[in-house]
């Protein structure tokens, strides 16, 4: 039911990735291609959620990997390749926004006063993400401020630990926890009408 810590498969995957990374650093194009194929879908998804524009996400994904290719030697912690790539992706996103003269939205006030207790409890039937629900989810994510949405997705979509999210976002650890908590409450409030007891 719950995921308890079983390090064996994860460690094996990390070891495989470390080996690929070392080969890519020596200029092995096959290794870099494998890393690209492994991580580019997540990077694209993160950028698409940030821009909310698929074409912009395409361009930014390519730019992210061009930069990553040139800076592989600067990656200190080989176990943090995913968060390193997502950090580059976020920088690319911010630069693109700045070059377009778009200012980042500030933290929203919408979440203030949310009461978790009023939310319905999801049922197992709710777990299926049909097209309608996916559209609703996308809409609900879109109502979050960009920074809050990014922080939340780095956690629930990309599975980054809070410490790595803090690095990617340039925030303190308490702020990361607070923003993700607020983002969750906001998201749940938006989705509440669609889950729990719908039939």
Partner 1 sequence: MSNVCREQDLDALLAGELSLADAERVRAHSETCAACNHALAWLKLERGWMAQRARRMPARPALNFAALEARLAAANAPARPASAPGVASRRSERATPRRRSDWSHRAVMALGAVAAVSFILFSVTQVRPVHSTEELWSQDVLASGLLQACVDPSGEAVAALEDRFSACLIASPAVPTY
Q: Does 157 bind partner 1 (CB under 8 A)?
A: yes
Stretch that binds partner 1, among 53-61, 78-86, 88-96, 104-112 (CB under 8 A): 53-61
Position 198 contacts partner 1 (CB under 8 A): no
Interface stretch with partner 1, choices 18-26, 55-63, 71-79, 103-111 (CB under 8 A): 55-63
Integer angstrom CA distances of residue 75 from 85, 87, 173, 195: 10, 12, 22, 42
C-alpha 187/C-alpha 178 separation (Å) is 14
Residue from the set 23, 133, 143, 171 that interacts with partner 1 by CB under 8 A: 133
Half-sphere exposure of 34 (CA within 13 A, CB side): 14
Examine residue 129 and tell whether it contacts partner 1 (CB under 8 A).
Answer: yes
CA distances from 57 to 40, 42, 93, 149, 166 (A): 11, 11, 9, 16, 22
- Residue 140 contacts by C-beta under 8 Å, 6 or more apart in sequence? 186, 187, 190, 191
Which residues between 11 and 40 bind partner 1 (CB under 8 A)?
Answer: 29, 33, 36-37, 40
Interacting stretch for partner 1, rule CB under 8 A, among 14-22, 58-66, 72-80, 86-94?
58-66
Site string for partner 1, 74-103 (x = CB under 8 A): ------------------------------
């Amino acid at each position: 039911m719950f995921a308890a810590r079983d390090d064996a498969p994860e460690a094996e995957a990390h070891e495989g990735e470390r080996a690929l990374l070392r080969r890519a650093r020596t200029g092995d194009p096959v290794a870099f291609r494998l890393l690209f194929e492994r991580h580019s879908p997540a990077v694209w998804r993160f950028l698409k959620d940030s821009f909310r524009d698929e074409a912009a996400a395409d361009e930014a994904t390519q730019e992210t990997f061009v930069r990553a290719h040139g800076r592989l030697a600067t990656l200190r912690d080989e176990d943090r390749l995913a968060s390193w790539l997502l950090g580059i992706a976020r920088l690319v996103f911010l630069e693109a926004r700045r070059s377009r003269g778009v200012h980042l939205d500030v933290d929203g006030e919408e979440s203030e006063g949310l009461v978790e207790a009023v939310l319905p409890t999801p049922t197992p039937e709710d777990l299926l993400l049909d097209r309608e629900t996916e559209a609703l989810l996308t809409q609900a994510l879109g109502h979050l401020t960009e920074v809050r949405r990014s922080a939340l997705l780095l956690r629930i979509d990309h599975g980054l630990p809070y410490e790595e999210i803090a690095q990617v976002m340039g925030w303190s650890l308490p702020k990361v926890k607070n923003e993700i908590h607020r983002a969750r409450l906001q998201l749940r409030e938006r989705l509440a009408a669609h889950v729990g007891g719908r039939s």
